[in-house]
Structures are given as structure tokens and as C-alpha cells.
Amino acid sequence: MIFFRKRYIVKMKTKAQIIKDAIIKYVFITLGALITAFALECFLLPNKIIDGGIIGISMMISYVTKWNLGIIIFLLNIPFILLAYQRMGKEFVINVFYAVTCLGIFTNMFSNHPATSEALLATVFGGIILGIGVGFILRNNGALDGTEILSMRLAKKLGFSVGELIMFFNLFIYTVAGKLYNWDSAMYSILTYFMASKIIDVVVEGLNSSKSALIISEHPKEIGDAIIKKFDVSVTYQKGKGGYSGKEKTIIYCVINRIEIAKMKSLIREIDPTAFFVIQDVHEVEGIRIKNNGLNNNKTKPKIKNVIKSNIK
């Protein structure tokens, strides 16, 4: 018996494409460092508002010693860059080293150029701009802060999660900031950190606000066909088994725009009021979707057969 299988050819990147990707990556890392330096020197530092992690520690040291902020950030990150080499690899270390170096240079460009003296404005706009800058760097496999690298190494040894350790470090930093500056500055700093983290999520994960849905129903085919027809999206059927009933189940999976979630819920309830479904956030939906607008329309079948035949070797 002869089996025929569609052959997928994996296209290797050419040297020109690799160089182009590298240039684009470093352009965005450079831009991210420039934006971050602008936020630090023009909004946060003049108003005694600090960021979390190593940058926050560097800002406090610079405030006390009057040393150059860029140099302090660079020197404090060196141990973490070396630590990252053992875990993250050579490419990541090069990206971090380049990003930190650029930040050190750009902070000198914006030094002594405050954009506002209003603490609330500095908090809001400083946090937004900082989040954009750091997000650009993280999105391109770089980093500016060694706190996460240290947390990843300590998490297994101490039995805490990475997020818990980062929260502990930042809690310590903001407590010191409250004593060094004042408690208003510490609270503004926490607000800045919160805003920056939200903007980072948007930049890194993208603005794609799609949702995924897992639907379990006694009428999976009817619901699946209705979703395809109503919302023009693909669905995937998965086999499952009920843990309580022991019955075989067909699970429907699909990705849909969040605006259409309410309509989809109503559609499901119309077909099967007892259906069970779970809605989850999805970021950066990519891939090829096989579309068949006619569902069971026979007119589309010859086209599918032609595609199959053309791939038989």
C-alpha cells in the first residue's frame, strides 16, 4: 500500500534576511533605550520618582552620590549580565549588554532637561513612556534590569515564584525610597511601576485582544457550524471524556474577537442552553486558517481535491 503525504518545505532564511532582522531588532532596542532614558531623566528623576529593580536602585544611588545615572545602571547590571550568560545564552547577553550601554549613553543626553515639575503628570506620562521603551526592548529579546534574571536563579533555591521574588525586591526598594525621599514619592513610584507594567504588556503582547473559547455541548456540530457561518472563523473539534459522567465528548475550540464574545454566548445559548464554555485571553494570533465559507457546499470540494492532487509526488 502506498501512502501519499503533503510535503511541507521549510524555507531557511537567507543571509540577507538574517542581517535585515538583526538590524531591525537593534533599531528597536536602540529606540527602546532612547525612550526609556527620556522617561527616566525628563519625568521620573527630577520629581524623585523611581522605577523598580536595578534601575530604581541606580536612581537612588545617583540621588545620594550625585554620580552619573547611566554609569551606575551599567555597572550594577554587569553581574546580572554575566549571570544571564549561564542561563539565557550568548544572543540574549549581547542584546542586554547593548541595551544597557545605549541606556547609559542616552541618559546623559537628557540629563537636566525636566519635562514637568508636576508629580502626578510625571507619574502618568513617565510610566507610559517608560513602559513603551522597556516594552520595545523586551519584545526584541533584550532587557534592562537584572532583577528578573536574579529572581529566576533564586526561585528554585528559595522555593518562591519569580513573580513573588520580584515583588519582594520592589517592595524593599520602594520602602527605601520612602525613607530616602518621602512616602508620597514612594507611592507615586508604585503607581508609575504599575502603569509601566501594563504598557509593557501591551507592547510585548500586542494590541490583539482576541479571546479563545472552549465549548462543551451535546450539539457540537450545530454550534460549530453556527460559529463558522455567523462569525467567519474556524473551529477545531477535540475529543474528550467527561470526568463525572464518563461519556465521550466533542470539545469545540475557536478564537474570536472580544467584541463578538457576547454574540457568541447568545448563539450558543440559543442552540444549547446547557452548554458549558470557558473564555480566555489570547495574544498574538498567528498562522494560516483554512476557510470554507460554504461549510458543506459541494462547490468547494473540487478545489480541495485539486490541492491534494497537486501535492502527490
Condensed to tens digits (0 to 9), the pLDDT of residues 3-40 reads 444 454 546 778 888 888 889 999 999 999 999 999 99
SS (H, E, C) 24-68: HHHHHHHHHHHHHHHHHHHHHHHHCCCCCHHHHHHHHHHHHHCCC
Instruction: Name the pTM for this structure.
Output: 0.69
Residue 26: predicted pLDDT: 93
Which amino acid, one-letter code, is at 60? M
pLDDT for 26-75, tens place per residue? Answer: 999 999 999 999 999 899 988 988 888 888 888 889 888 888 888 888 88
- Of 225, 38, 19, 210, the C-alpha closest to 126 is 38
- Could you tell me if 40 and 69 are in contact, meaning their C-beta atoms sit under 8 angstroms apart? yes
106, 69 Cβ separation under 8 angstroms: no
Segments making up each domain of the chain, as ranges: 15-205, 210-310
pLDDT value at 292 more than 60? no
> Could you tell me which residue, 226 or 82, shows the higher pLDDT?
226
> What's the rounded Cα separation, in Å, for the pair 247 and 244?
8
Tens of pLDDT, residues 111-146: 788 888 899 999 999 999 999 998 898 888 888 877
Burial (Cβ within 10 Å: 0-12, 13-18, ≥19) of residue 272: middle
34: its cell numbers: 532612547
Q: Please tell me whether residue 281 adopts helix, strand or coil conformation.
A: strand
The hierarchical CATH code for the domain 210-310 is: 3.30.70.120
Q: Positive or negative, the Cα torsion across 162, 163, 164, 169?
A: positive
